[in-house]
A and B are shown apart, each in its own frame.
Chain A
Amino acid sequence: MNSLNLFQWLALTTILCLLIVELVGAIRGRVVRTFWVVRVLIWIAAGIAIYQPNLVTRLARAIGIERGADLVLYLTVLTFFATSLFLYARCLRLQQQITRIVRHLALEEARPPQ
């Protein structure tokens, strides 16, 4: 078994805590299932990548990327853009819902000519 460095200890402990929180949340039934599965998979993948960095390097080389760190960077950038777009779309939907509420009130309280 590899001896872990300080960063690995800290990161893996944090991820373990987060996974426990996710599991407790799931048991109490407070989560949206799709997002929960995605989040847990991300935590597990992060944990494996931190525990076994060579695994990421091997995976990177298998798909034609020289270094594991590059693969992580590419995935991070792609995830960032996808998340930004998702959040922006969600923000637009929320804005539209707020607009509908404000409009509804304006129409309800319209003042006729005095």
Chain B
Amino acid sequence: MPAYNEAHVLAEPLAALCGQYQNVVVVDDGSTDQTTAVASEFPVYLLSHLFNLGQGAALRTGLDFALGHDAQVIVTFDADGQHAVDDVQAVVRPVLQGTTDVALGSRFLGSAEGMPMGRRLILKVGVLFTRLFSRLRVTDTHNGLRAFSRQAAAAIPIREDGMAHASEILDEIKRQKLRYCEVPVSVRYSRETLDKGQSNWQALKVASQFLVGRILR
């Protein structure tokens, strides 16, 4: 679970996760609020970046840590409480069964409570972008709830430190011919989720970062 300045929302998803799962890893991405203190109240592995690098970098750190602790299936889960803990089983199942390497949560196959029209539009553009550049037929491109097999987590490098990591992951799935599937999940939009979400301008920035990074890699 990557977390950056999530002290005000972190307790709820952590309590729900720790109630059902052991081996929860929180990567504090250089928060300047009480994120570390809140996370410390729960039985989680806590890793801290010295300063803010971005969600992609935090995810890679978490994946490296999990791989170093012999994890067989690794789930990524946003810290802002938008995901439902019950959906974790749904994304883990196909990976555990060995039918897929990466299970991607999709709010468009599941449900998205309180999603504004503007956000829906940005995400749909993201889907078109992914189909155009990565040639991957997915319905949701920037969903933080995913499950990786050990092999997939080791194979996908995540060189994009910022939000462009989501596009990079899809790109790598296609490039490395990893097996993937989409799983219906529910996403709940709250004021906090929307405040920290991407604006139209940021979405454009993420897309350009991904494309430039792709050219330079």
Contact = CB atoms under 8 A, between A and B. Distances in A.
Interface string A81-103: 00000001100100110110011
Contacts of B57: 99, 102-103
A1 interface: no
Nearest to B69: A110
Contacts of B212: 88
Interface string B38-57: 00101111111111010001
A106 B61 CA distance: 8
Contacts of A2: none
A107 B45 contact: no
A102 B49 contact: yes
B45 A106 contact: no
Interface in B9-55: 27, 40, 42-51, 53
B47 A99 contact: no
Contact of A103 (B61, B213, B216): B61
Contacts of B61: 103, 106-107
Given A88-B212, A89-B216, A114-B40, A103 B49 contact: yes
Contacts of A111: 40, 45-47
Contacts of B213: 92
Interface residues of B, number: 24
Interface in B38-97: 40, 42-51, 53, 57, 60-61, 64-65, 68
B172 interface: no
Interface of B: 27, 40, 42-51, 53, 57, 60-61, 64-65, 68, 159, 161, 212-213, 216
Given A88-B216, A110-B45, A114-B43, 10 more contacts: A98-B53, A102-B50, A102-B53, A107-B65, A109-B47, A110-B65, A111-B47, A113-B42, A113-B44, A114-B40
30 contacts: A89-B216, A92-B213, A92-B216, A95-B161, A96-B161, A98-B53, A102-B49, A102-B51, A102-B57, A103-B57, A103-B61, A103-B64, A106-B27, A106-B47, A106-B48, A106-B49, A106-B50, A106-B61, A107-B47, A107-B68, A109-B47, A109-B48, A110-B47, A110-B65, A111-B40, A111-B45, A112-B45, A113-B43, A114-B40, A114-B43
